[in-house]
Amino acid sequence: MTAFLALIDRDLRLAFRFGADTLASLLFFVLCGSLFPLALGPSPDLLRHMGPGIVWVCALLASLLPLDRLFGSELEDGSLDLLMLTGLPPSAVALAKMVAHWLTTGLPLLVASVPLGIMLGIKGSELPLLLGGLALGTMSLSLLGGMAASIVLGARRGGVLLPLLVLPLATPVLIFGAASSYAGQLGTSSAASLDLLAACLFACLPLCPLAAGQGLKAAVG
């Protein structure tokens, strides 16, 4: 457990030191979201209807950005060998990196989705539901993304392959996530979609680190 926490701590320190990565995906998120009013027209009604969907799609794309470097930089400079020899099982190493990815990408995205949501005209009363759904959804996205990143590790053109692997796997998260966020507008209950969103998370939680651990083992072997 000490080693697990030490790995997360190390990654957080690295992320603070190289803040540009986190900042880049945040700016991408906000910029991407601000393009929609330009393309769809400034009708407040339209934007309010599209708002939750726009936030979800942008969050999905923004969380993909840092994945390429998640294990790639560790493999390049030889740190991955050392991480694999810390005595932790490979899946625990992968899980630590995924947790760090959520803390440095998912969490900032949650914070940035508040101004983006307000900009798109989402009502204050609908925001908590959006944030709750996003919190569950971004956790699943970090797990799925980390798994895909470790699988393409060492492959040529891995960066291109990565979105092709993650996006189809992320569709359930997107569907249930957006459905939960629309419940406020449509006046329906969000319970079912949130349950399914949480179910996605609890399916990813054991499976993704296991698969990612195998990917890491293959990459260093």
Of 34, 79, 185, 214, the residue at the interface with another protein (CB under 8 A) is 79
Say how far apart CA 42 and CA 39 lie, in whole Å.
Answer: 9
Measured from the CB of residue 198, what is the shortest distance to another protein in angstroms? Answer: 33
Measured from the CB of residue 9, what is the shortest distance to another protein in angstroms? Answer: 8
Q: For another protein, which stretch binds (CB under 8 A), given 12-20, 98-106, 159-167, 187-195?
A: 12-20
Give the residue from 174, 173, 146, 178 showing the smallest Cα distance to 162: 146
Of 27, 31, 40, 82, the residue at the interface with another protein (CB under 8 A) is 82
Give the residue from 154, 173, 144 showing the smallest Cα distance to 219: 154
In the chain the first and final C-alpha atoms are separated, in Å, by 25
Q: Which one, 1 or 38, has the nearer CB to another protein? A: 1
The answer to whether residue 187 forms part of the interface with another protein (CB under 8 A) is: no
Length of the chain: 221
Where does the chain show beta strands of DSSP type E?
none
State the number of binding residues for another protein (CB under 8 A): 20
The answer to whether residue 13 forms part of the interface with another protein (CB under 8 A) is: yes
Of 42, 124, 168, 221, the residue at the interface with another protein (CB under 8 A) is 221
The answer to whether residue 2 forms part of the interface with another protein (CB under 8 A) is: yes
Of 12, 49, 86, 119, the residue at the interface with another protein (CB under 8 A) is 86
DSSP at 152: S
The answer to whether residue 23 forms part of the interface with another protein (CB under 8 A) is: no
Say how far apart CA 96 and CA 101 lie, in whole Å.
Answer: 9
Give the residue from 97, 39, 51, 100 showing the smallest Cα distance to 219: 97
The answer to whether residue 24 forms part of the interface with another protein (CB under 8 A) is: no
Q: Where in 87-126 is the site for another protein (CB under 8 A)?
A: 87
The answer to whether residue 168 forms part of the interface with another protein (CB under 8 A) is: no
Give the residue from 129, 106, 167, 143 showing the smallest Cα distance to 52: 129
Q: For another protein, which stretch binds (CB under 8 A), given 84-92, 99-107, 152-160, 171-179?
A: 84-92
The CA-based angle 54-137-140, given to 5 degrees, is: 135
DSSP at 122: -
| Binding site residues, another protein, CB under 8 A | 2-3, 6-7, 10, 13-14, 17-18, 77-79, 81-82, 84-87, 220-221
